[in-house]
Homo-oligomer: A and B are copies of this chain.
Amino acid sequence: MPNSFTPQVAGDLNYLKSLNRSTILSTVRRSPGLSRADIALQTGLTKATVGSVVQALSEGGWLREGELHSRGGGRPGRALYLDGDRHYMLGAEVGVKGLRLVACNLVGEILASLHQEVSPTTPEATATRLAELLVQLRQDPALGGRSCLGLGVSVPGPVSPRAPILRLAPNLGWTDIDFLALLREQPDLPGGVWLLDNEANAAAFGEFYFFDGVPPESIAYISADIGIGCGVVSGEHFPVVPRGYQGLVGEIGHTVIQPGGAFCHCGNRGCAETLVSGWALREALNVEPEASLSAAVQARADEEAVQALIQRAGEALGLLMLNLHHTLNPSMLILGGSLMRLEARLIEPALAYFHDHQNDLLRKSQSVPIKIIEDSTFTAARGAAAQVMARAAIEV
């Protein structure tokens, strides 16, 4: 059964080696502390192969040896971990409200970060500013002695699945921008893998790749911000983000859940975004773009109309979660984005709606775990960095 590491066309011995190296790396990523013997058992490879691959990966700065741990009799195994001290990846989010940058290591720890809360203007000016910030970030002493694997950039709109091109960013007014090409014209940027992806996809990838705990089978990450997007990830050793033919997978903010409802900026009516999204709530509450939405809601929390508005938004979010479940059926739902700052006011009605409207199909199954990310400031940037690591790992 092929997955996301099957070669584009056919495989040679190089591909085979790369495949097994990546599988071993991923096995350690998902279960830190395994010994060579454990890895051989889990992957089906022989001890000999695992031994030689682990040696190569250690020399390359990907793995490090840890403590011994004995299990009953016999020689104790040497624990293996991803080496967090020798490489790092850069991740950046070009968001509607500003630029956010991180540098993180192989275990997903953020070593250094920057953010500038000023809305981007033109693509060119944004690329210039981002390049400056990247140079600044790379001078952070926390990165000393490490080598850079590459750069991932996330953007607020669908990216073409066949080329790293931003197709449309409605909230920036950008269309068909080859942002990486603009960035490449800037000085002093690192080499390595360069990637561009949608914000929700990048965030979803990062939450899946660097999942803290027993990794889920698949996730859907709902990004509730100015607009509503969604990224999906699945795949044990080689996580795959389905993008669809035009990069529109997960554009759930523009699924219609109220036919004939309010007009949406997309040109349609009754989209989910007209009920639950940063722009819809700001519009309904007359909140200026610079002001804080959550603060405005907090301030007017006594007004019944405001309560009803947020309640309806939460229910719409719950309905979206249900529909998503019947269409993509992930094993875990993750909610993130700045709308999470509305906290229980929004989240409780969403969860209540989700649980109260389960149908027979869902009731038969165990309930879907839902994880909420309160602060997703660097989620997308870190996710973009994670994508760089995943790509670099198969290109070692």
Contacts and interface: CB of A to CB of B under 8 A. Distances in A.
A29 interface: no
A330 B249 CA distance: 9
Contacts of A258: 259
A347 interface: no
A326 B244 CA distance: 9
B235 A10 contact: no
Interface string A25-57: 000000000000000001111000000000000
A308 interface: no
Contacts of A9: 23, 42-45, 237
Given A245-B330, A259-B257, A327-B251, A19 B23 contact: no
Interface stretch (A85-93, A116-124, A316-324): A316-324
Q: Number of contact residues on A: which range applies?
A: 35 or more
A359 B268 contact: yes
Contact of A364 (B167, B218, B235, B329): B167
Contacts of A259: 257-258, 315, 319
Contacts of A294: none
Contacts of A13: 16
B218 A325 contact: no
Interface in A247-264: 247-252, 254-259, 264
B16 A20 contact: no
Copies of this subunit:
2
Given A10-B44, A248-B329, A330-B245, A323 B256 contact: yes
A256 B257 contact: yes
A240 interface: yes
Nearest to A176: B364
Contacts of A328: 242, 244, 249, 327-328
A377 interface: no
A325 B250 CA distance: 9
Contact of A254 (B237, B250, B326): B326
Interface in A232-290: 234-235, 237-238, 240, 242-252, 254-259, 264, 266-269, 271
Contacts of A248: 325-326, 329, 361-362
Given A326-B255, A329-B247, A6 B266 contact: no
A108 B3 CA distance: 25
A158 to B, nearest CB: 7
A242 B256 CA distance: 23
Contacts of A323: 255-256, 323
Interface in A312-359: 315, 319, 322-331, 357-359
A1 B358 CA distance: 36
A360 interface: yes
Chain B CB within 10 Å, residue with most, of A24, A357, A360: A360
A319 to B, nearest CB: 6
Contact of A10 (B45, B170, B175, B360): B45
Given A2-B5, A6-B19, A242-B242, 4 more contacts: A168-B364, A234-B242, A327-B327, A328-B328
Interface of A: 1-13, 15-16, 19-20, 23-24, 42-45, 158, 167-168, 170, 175, 217-218, 234-235, 237-238, 240, 242-252, 254-259, 264, 266-269, 271, 315, 319, 322-331, 357-365, 368, 394
21 contacts: A1-B5, A2-B4, A2-B235, A3-B4, A3-B5, A6-B238, A10-B43, A168-B361, A170-B360, A234-B242, A242-B328, A243-B329, A246-B365, A247-B329, A249-B329, A251-B329, A251-B361, A252-B326, A259-B315, A268-B357, A268-B358
Q: What 10 pairs across the A-B complex have the smallest Cβ distances?
A: A2-B5, A244-B329, A2-B4, A245-B331, A2-B238, A3-B6, A266-B359, A248-B329, A10-B43, A255-B323
